[in-house]
Amino acid sequence: MEKSLKVAVIGAGVAGLAAARELRREGQQVVVVYEKSDQLGGTWVYDPRVESDPLGLDPNREIVHGSLYSSLCTNLPRQLMSFSDYPFEIRKNGELRTFPDHEEVLEYLNKFARDFGLVELIRFNTEVVRVQRVNDQWIVGSRSTMSDFSLEEAFDAVIVCNGHHTQPRIADIPGIKKWPGKQIHSHNYRVPETFLDQVVVVIGDGPSAHDISKDIAKAAKEVHLSSRSPEIKVSKLDCYGNIWKHPKIDCVCENGEVAFQDGVSVHADIILHCTGYNYDFPFLETNGIVSVDDNRVGPLYKHVFPPKLAPSLSFIGISLTVDLFHMIEFQAKWMARVLTSKVLLPSENEMLIDIEQQYKRLEEAGKLKHYTHNLLYDEFEYQDWLAAQVGEPGADEGLKQITRTLLKFLADNGWFRYFRALGTLFSPRTLSPPSQQSLVPDLLKSATLSFLRIFSHMRRASKQGPLHFFGTTPRVHLS
């Protein structure tokens, strides 16, 4: 029988909790989950604090982990915001809502941790400051966030689950050094009131840029949403009197003007960067064996194991997919079984060749390096591969094909930006006035509902029950 390993997990968010559960299931007796905050849940812990540098660039600032804004609801139905064998059944005011808010997700994670006995594995208020391989062990250095206490401990394996929505990436704008206005990254956006009567330029094309623009529009005088999509011409956003869409910013000027690439310019008070995040592992000392280059964490075999340090070092939750909870769960199962040698990894050289081939495929597809971990269009292949490693069935071929078509359809129409808006529209508590519902085209609504239906099948709907839209009123029933 394999000897039980001593394993350190860094972070008690979705990834850390999933990893800890699988490690315990595989019989690891000593699992220590380091969590620098006083709560589990990671991203889903709403923190009203913002950082001293609103752009989040000052290396000496006190870092706030969370990036949630107060009004945020999930952009996926609860069936996709849960682990496969643990349904999302958190009620708000007696309602089982399809698109829960962040408090409900946090409650779900707390319940999950309690039910699987994970809370007692977590060392709260303990930040990992050093992870280093010494001989055949990992030394984990940690410090208390409440006192001067610090500690070094040896582990057989380390699982990195520290999240990647904390270190802002900002847009490079010609003339920005002399522009007199205020700049902020969405990491530090919480509530719209701070934008009262301001003219705000929001940069970004993802769900957060669109969602935050609408949130800010409640207080701001004007919101100008600037996206990279080349086809965008200046226009008002349907049903919003004070939101305009623009193409990319051309430059900004000393007099406060922001000039867009189509020749239009506005005099703005604030630029809000909704431009994503960088991976960051400040505690990891691997002598360059694992590095972050233009947001590519590498080399990582299948986004989890660095070949030279495998299997004793692994990363869970690095890759970006729609069905994130499920992907994290599969990665955690795979990692835990590799550690017990129930599943074997290829040789170091074979893993490196596989990674090189992945990079080559990305390059041939014209994808930039920083999209290395974005698996939106490959997520079925990836999930199937992980499923096969742990002996579980992959997704049905027909469902995959339809979903790919739908994803392409949504992307070709620039409609990914509506995802979070859909969540808001379908949520009974935050149901927008009827006039605003036309913001989401009917075609998109039906396409998205089909998409969600497919996903709900993939999540083996039989385990979690059918999808009910509009809260408890089954006006749209997907089974």
Ligand X SMILES: Cc1cc2nc3c(=O)[nH]c(=O)nc-3n(C[C@H](O)[C@H](O)[C@H](O)COP(=O)(O)OP(=O)(O)OC[C@H]3O[C@@H](n4cnc5c(N)ncnc54)[C@H](O)[C@@H]3O)c2cc1C
Q: Catalog residues that contact ligand X under the rule CB under 6 A.
A: 10-16, 34-37, 42-44, 65, 67-68, 72, 74-76, 81, 127-128, 161-163, 165, 208, 283, 317, 324
Contact of 8 with 32, CB cutoff 8 Å: yes
User: In this structure, what token pair is assigned to residue 438?
Assistant: 């036309």
Minimum Å distance from CB 68 to ligand X?
5
State the Rg of the chain over Cα.
23
Q: How far apart are CA 321 and CA 253, in angstroms?
A: 38
Minimum Å distance from CB 2 to ligand X?
27
Nearer to ligand X, 69 or 244 (CB): 69
Nearer to ligand X, 33 or 266 (CB): 33
Minimum Å distance from CB 427 to ligand X?
12
CA distances from 171 to 153, 267, 318, 342 (A): 40, 19, 22, 45
Q: How far apart are CA 460 and CA 79, in angstroms?
A: 10
Q: How far apart are CA 431 and CA 427, in angstroms?
A: 6
Nearer to ligand X, 70 or 432 (CB): 70
Amino acid identity, position 167: Q
Nearer to ligand X, 76 or 271 (CB): 76
| Residue 408 host element (H or E) | helix 397-412
Nearer to ligand X, 165 or 210 (CB): 165
Between helix 419-426 and helix 442-458 the angle, nearest 10°, is 90
| 3-state SS, one letter per residue, for 34-58 | ECCCCCCCHHHCCCCCCCCCCCCCC
User: In this structure, what token pair is assigned to residue 156?
Assistant: 């057989």
Minimum Å distance from CB 33 to ligand X?
9
Nearer to ligand X, 17 or 173 (CB): 17
DSSP alpha helices (H): ranges in 187-283? 207-216
Minimum Å distance from CB 132 to ligand X?
14
Minimum Å distance from CB 207 to ligand X?
8
Q: How far apart are CA 257 and CA 4, in angstroms?
A: 63
Contact of 270 with 151, CB cutoff 8 Å: no
Minimum Å distance from CB 131 to ligand X?
9
Nearer to ligand X, 40 or 199 (CB): 40
DSSP alpha helices (H): ranges in 256-345? 324-339
User: In this structure, what token pair is assigned to residue 261?
Assistant: 């690439």
Residue 284 C-alpha from the chain's centroid: 21
Go through the chain and tell me how many residues it has. Answer: 479
Nearer to ligand X, 65 or 337 (CB): 65
Phi, psi of 271, deg, nearest 5: -110, 125
Minimum Å distance from CB 37 to ligand X?
5
CA distances from 184 to 200, 219, 269, 439 (A): 10, 16, 11, 27
Nearer to ligand X, 162 or 227 (CB): 162
DSSP, res 10:
E
Nearer to ligand X, 189 or 260 (CB): 189
Q: Return the ∠ at Cα 324 (arms to 379 and 15), rounded to 5°.
A: 125
DSSP, res 97:
-
Minimum Å distance from CB 14 to ligand X?
4
Minimum Å distance from CB 119 to ligand X?
13
